[in-house]
Amino acid sequence: MSDAGASFGSVSERWSSEHVRGLAPDAASAKAAATVAKPAKWSGLGCDGEAVWGECQGSGQRGYQACADLTEPAYRCSCPSRKFPCKHVLGLLLLWSAGTVPEGGRAPWAAEWLDRRRERTAAAPAKPKAADPKTAERREARVAAGLDDLDRWLCDQVAQGLAATESAPYRLWDDLARRLVDAQAGALAGQVRSLAALPRRPGWPDELLTEYALLRLLTRAARRPDLPTGLRATVRSRTGFTVPQEEVLASGERVRGRWHVLGTRSSEQEQLTVRRTWLASQEGRPALLLAFAAPGRAVEPAPPTGTALDAELAFYPGAAPLRAVVAEQHGVPVPALPPGGTVADARAAFAAALAAEPWLDAWPVVLTGVHLARSADNPCAQDATGTVPLRTADFWRLAAVSGGEPVTLTGEWTPQGLTVLACHHPTEGTVIV
Amino acid sequence: MTRENAWDDHVGAALLGTGRRTPAPLPEAPEPDGDAAGRLLDQAAVLAVGRRAGLLPHVPDDVEVLAPAPPEELPVVPAAAAQRLDGLLQAPGADPSRAEWLETAARLGLRVPPALLPAVLDLGRDGAGRPLRPVIARVAGRRGVWLALQNPRWAYLLGYTGDAPEADDIWQTGTRDQRAAHLENLRGTDPAAAREALLEVWESEPAPARAAFLATFATGLSLADAAFLEDALTDRGKDVRQHAADLLAALPGTAYGARMAERARDCLRREDDRLVTGKPDAHDDALARDGVPFQPGGTFLPGRNVGTRAGWLREILSRTPLATWPDHLGLPPERLVTLPVTDAADGPVAARRGGRSGADAEDAVHDVHVSWAQAALRQRDARWARALLAHGEASQRPEIFGELVTVLPPADRDGAAAVLARRLTDPALLCRVLHRVPGPWSGELAATVTAALAALAERPGNDDRRSFPGLCHLVETRLDPALAADAADRFADLPAPAQESRRDALVAVLRTRHAMIKELIP
């Protein structure tokens, strides 16, 4: 934690309760946190610019010591819960966000943990394990064979005709997916398996041909020895080769800047919880932080939506580099409005990104000064340059905050419309979807 | 061929299979690598990426931008209060603090911030939240109405804010609830117009609708309604007849009141310094027509069978204009409520409490005092209410006496309720009375109740202990939040053997409420 330039402790820097609830690993934890967030249940509450701490009355004899490091952020609690952050930490943060936690000197146990954390963060990262070249070679060969298998399968499908697919059993894709797993091309296996749902939807022939064609594009690209470095990295990552984070930190492209947090979305993938946190720099460059967790475990915390942090990101290699890790963070996230553009700008940004990386299905955008609109139950956003359907179940919360005035929307631009992440109004504040 | 035609061509070929059909070659596709199927996929990839980048998502034709919301007139609640409400809305279950928050904000003339409006408006949508509707309407601001006009889910709001676009339309075409709400509003501003509107449709409405509409006459009730209500006493609908009789019973100075007074004078007389009741011997059609059924509701009170004849007596007395009594019995209400009461059938046993035939004498005094209390409640008679609170026998129907407090002007309520509370030594009775005394409690009442609670906490008696949680709950929810911090401090130090956890919960709730109100009034 080098230069923490912001002025600590002022009310404006407190996270809103909405931010805090956004940290909950699941809805049940968020509810439980609300019941814990009562001052009467706590003793020794305190906070300073970098941390909040307190002891919560638990069911046992001794209270649970909960502490949140606001700079990373990072959380700790002495309770046995496997949820992370647990309800005590969330409750503590809710109290803090409501302004009921007084400023004060750190409790000794909190100070100890925070200091130990600082030391650990400052310590040099472990050296990457040298990979066995033989293992790597074997894997290359296996994946190449898997891609050939996939290519043959795709061509067979199209040669026979996709019409029969409408009533095909899931086995059709499952068998292929299993073979891809055996071929150590796991990333493709998941994608193939998810195709099984397509023929059950209206307009499926267009969708299915699109997906098959893009997979074919990938198998052909993978065979080409002459791809530019970035595109080569993209193709490798899409076929399941991962770049170790240490390597990214050591040699990835570094960008220091003011990174706005556009929003987060969690999804279940292959029995993993995946959380995507979309960022955009002050200059409009997007970035994606990915976090994974096993079922029942919480994903590591992300900076809250609607804030900006001064940080240096290290980007994974790619044709349209998007995925990144935070290499260095300077100070705490502070509330800020992300800079954005028009509907046409967003469309152009997505098109440009696709031109660089044709397999993209979503691209983070910020729409500034758009009006909310609707036709019956179809919500949209509109400005002078165009209209885009909104994919959100929370339209009325956005509408309430907008009051018919222009708002800033952040979201994932997809070919079907904008999946809304957050809505900002200059005076009414932020709604996180 | 356009790009979109080319795409359709590829989809068609892919569906049929390249064995049967191949699409036209695409010049910009990469060098062929493999068979016809491979070529189709290569070409489709070029087209698909182009489509993803260039095709506009489907947008319905009739999309309309949301019209600007009108500017707000009320100030918004402070930020800390908004955060508190947000937490209350997220918390599971129906927390009574939600209602208090909303009511306090409404009383202070504040509105909720727009971001919370959808959740607040959803609160009032059904079941448990219905009673909150009027207060939601007051804190929703212009933005709430703006939302309700666009989202039918919240249309109920429009009935409370006078923003219903065409009030007349609602009366003509609305649902029964909407029409009743409309009529109730109109009764508040122009009772005569409401009566005229109802008269126009009276004959054509079904009985349940007539009953629902007639019930709104409790608002703005006056002698001008008497003739209409008198007619309604012979309505085909049973509920309509009952509503009409109950409304007339609240309206002294009518023919109905004169008929009841005539019956009542036969039922109660004064012999020197005591009152003597005479239960009616028979029930007739005229009595039924005036709203006294053969089996009055109160006659089956659990645990105490009042008896059919006593039931008639109570109904008659409680429907008689209170002004009848000082004339007929020759004493002012303050004296009348102190006189012992006996039943004529028991002979001259002048015992108000205890004594040989104590039970019967108690019944007689209950018959009279409960009926008077009911009458004072119906006729909103503050003088009688005050007299009964000070001396009335409340132990049989304590709820009615608790409710009597609402007849008094707000400034007098705490004092009068305290007088009643101090007379009640049984904590269970005290709970039942206090349950009906609206908050916030302050002044003498707050002092009396907190003292009672403190005494109860320390008392060893097992029976009393059972009342402790009930009284705690009442204090938690009704005590004036301005006193909450002090009360919390007092209770926190109170020895409460075997009740510590309930006491601690009480202290915690009081502290939270104190904080909650302080957030609203910074």
Which tens digits make up the pLDDT trace of B300-322? 555 455 688 888 999 999 999 99
Indicate the DSSP class of residue A384: T
Distance from CA of B240 to the nearest CA of A (A): 41
By the CB < 8 Å criterion, does B507 face chain A? yes
Confidence of residue B267 (pLDDT cuts 50, 70, 90): very high
Tell me what pLDDT residue B358 has.
46
For residue B360, pLDDT over 90 is answered with: no
What is the predicted pLDDT for the residue at B328?
Answer: 95
Q: Does A43 touch chain B (CB under 8 A)?
A: no
pLDDT of residue B298: 57
Residues from chain A that touch B14, judged by Cβ atoms under 8 A, are 158, 161-162, 205, 209, 212
E strands along B41-136, which residues?
A: 64-65
**Residue A267, Cβ neighbours under 10 Å: how many?**
9
- Across the interface, of A205, A210, A355, the residue whose CB is closest to B53 is A355
Q: Is A385 on the interface with B (CB under 8 A)?
A: no
CB pair distance less than 8 Å for A210 and B44 = yes
A268 CB neighbour count, 10 Å cutoff: 9
Q: Does the beta-carbon distance from A163 to B44 stay under 8 Å?
A: no
DSSP characters over A196-247: TTGGGSTTHHHHHHHHHHHHHHHHHHHH-TT--HHHHHHHHHHTTPPPPHHH
- Contact with chain A for residue B522, Cβ under 8 A: no
Nearest-by-Cβ selection for B41 from A213, A373, A428: A213
Query: CB atoms < 10 A from the CB of A424, how many?
Result: 24
A311, β-bridge pairs: A257, A329
Average pLDDT, chain B: 87
Question: Is B14 in contact with A161 (Cβ distance < 8 A)?
Answer: yes
Among candidate residues A175, A158, A172, the one with its CA nearest the CA of residue A209: A158
* Chain B nearest C-alpha distance from A163 (Å): 5
- Locate the chain A residue with the closest alpha carbon to B12: A205
Q: Identify the closest residue of chain B to A405 by CA–CA distance.
A: B68
Residues 6+ positions from B3 with CB-CB distance below 8 Å: B47, B50, B51
- Spell out which residues of chain B touch residue A209, defining contact as CB-CB under 8 Å: 10-11, 14, 44, 48
Give average pLDDT by consecutive 10-residue segment, chain A, 433 residues. Answer: 34 64 74 80 84 80 82 80 82 83 85 83 56 81 92 93 88 91 86 88 90 94 90 91 90 94 84 87 94 74 89 94 92 91 94 92 94 90 94 92 95 93 91 87
- As a whole-number percent, the residues of chain B with pLDDT over 70 amount to 91
pLDDT at position B95: 73
Does the structure show a pLDDT above 80 at B495?
A: no
Q: Is there a contact between B85 and B101 (Cβ–Cβ < 8 Å)?
A: yes
**Contact list, A400 vs chain B (CB under 8 Å):** 114-115, 117-118, 143, 147
Query: Which residues between 57 and 116 in chain B have a beta carbon less than 8 angstroms from any beta carbon of chain A?
Result: 57-69, 80, 83-84, 86-87, 90-92, 113-115
Other Cβ atoms less than 10 A from the Cβ of B391: the count is 19
Count of residues for chain B? 522
Whole-number pLDDT of residue B165: 52
For chain B, the straight-line distance linking the first and the last C-alpha, in angstroms and rounded, comes to 71
By Cβ distance, the residue of A158, A373, A378 closest to B40 is A158
Q: How many CA atoms lie within 13 A of A9 on its CB side?
A: 9
Q: How buried is residue A336: exposed, middle or buried, by Cβ count under 10 Å (0-12/13-18/19+)?
A: middle
- Nearest Cα neighbor of B509 from B480, B482, B484 is B484
Q: Which is nearest to A66 in space by CA: A50, A55, A58?
A: A55
Q: What is the pLDDT of residue A151?
A: 94
pLDDT value at position B357? Answer: 44
Q: Which of A213, A378, A429 sits opposite B48 (nearest CB)?
A: A213
Quick one: pLDDT band at residue B347, thresholds 50, 70, 90? low
Interface of B with A in 331-390 (CB under 8 A): none
Pairwise CB contact (< 8 Å): B38 & A151: yes
Contact B167, B143 (CB under 8 A): no
Say yes or no: B485 contacts chain A, CB-CB below 8 A: no
CATH topology of domain A343-432: OB fold (Dihydrolipoamide Acetyltransferase, E2P) (2.40.50)
Residue B361 has pLDDT above 70, yes or no: no
Q: What is the pLDDT of residue A59?
A: 62
- The separation between CA A409 and the C-alpha centre of its own chain, rounded to angstroms, equals 17
**What b-and-e string marks burial along A225-242, b requiring 16 or more CB atoms within 10 Å of the CB?**
eebeebbbbbbbbbbbbe
Which of B37, B62, B68 comes nearest A158 by C-beta? B37
Q: Give the burial string for B265-303 (b: 16+ CB within 10 Å, else e).
A: bebbeeeeebbbbebbeebeeebeebbbbeebebbeeee
Nearest-by-CA chain A residue for B54 = A351
User: What is the CATH code of the structural domain delimited by A245-335?
Assistant: 2.40.50
With tokens 């885009």, the residue in question is A388
Residue boundaries of the structural domains of chain B: 3-54, 79-161, 167-249, 259-408, 409-522
Cis peptide before A73 (omega within 30 of 0): yes
CA distance B261 to chain A (A): 57
Among left, alpha and beta (phi > 0; psi -120 to 50; other), residue A111 is: alpha
Chain A hits for B16, Cβ within 8 Å: 161, 163
pLDDT above 90 covers a percentage of chain B that reads 52
Residue with tokens 């004594």: B355
What ranges in B340-397 are assigned the alpha helix state H? 358-378, 382-391
In angstroms, the separation between the Cα of residue A206 and the nearest Cα of chain B is 6
Q: How many residues does chain A have?
A: 433
Q: Which whole-number Å values give the CA distances from B501 to A36, B497, B498, B506, in the listed order?
A: 16, 10, 8, 9
Alpha-carbon gap, residue B56 to A122, rounded angstroms: 49
B155 contacts chain A (CB < 8 A): no
The closest of B119, B441, B504 to A38, measured between CA atoms, is B504
CB atoms near residue A147 (< 10 Å): 24
**B73-80: average pLDDT:** 92
Q: Which of B40, B45, B55 sits opposite A415 (nearest CB)?
A: B55
Minimum-distance CB partner of B44 among A17, A209, A376: A209
Residue with the bigger pLDDT between B329 and B296: it is B329
Q: Which of B65, B147, B507 comes nearest A400 by C-beta?
A: B147
Angle ∠(B457,B459,B463) on CA atoms, nearest 5: 95
| A380 to B11: CB separation less than 8 angstroms, yes or no | no
Query: What pLDDT was estimated at residue B97?
Result: 82
Name the nearest CA neighbour of B343 among B322, B321, B360, B325.
B360
Indicate whether this complex's ipTM tops 0.90.
no
